[in-house]
Amino acid sequence: MKNFFSPNLGNSGRLIRGLIAVGFFIGSWFAFGVSTWLGIVLAASGGFVLFEALRSWCAFRACGIKTRF
Q: What pTM value is reported for the model?
A: 0.88
Q: What is the mean pLDDT of residues 55-62?
A: 91
Instruction: With respect to residue 10, please indicate whether it lies within any of the assigned structural domains.
Output: no
Q: What is the mean pLDDT of residues 63-68?
A: 86
Instruction: With respect to residue 33, please indicate whether it lies within any of the assigned structural domains.
Output: yes
The number of domains in the chain is: 1
- Whether residue 11 is predicted with pLDDT greater than 90 in this model: the reply is yes
Instruction: With respect to residue 41, please indicate whether it lies within any of the assigned structural domains.
Output: yes
Structural domain range at position 57 = 21-62
Give the DSSP letter string of 21-56. Answer: HHHHHHHHHHHTTT-HHHHHHHHHHHHHHHHHHHHT
Residues 6 or more apart in contact with residue 5 via CB below 8 angstroms: 55, 57, 62
Which H or E element spans position 65? none
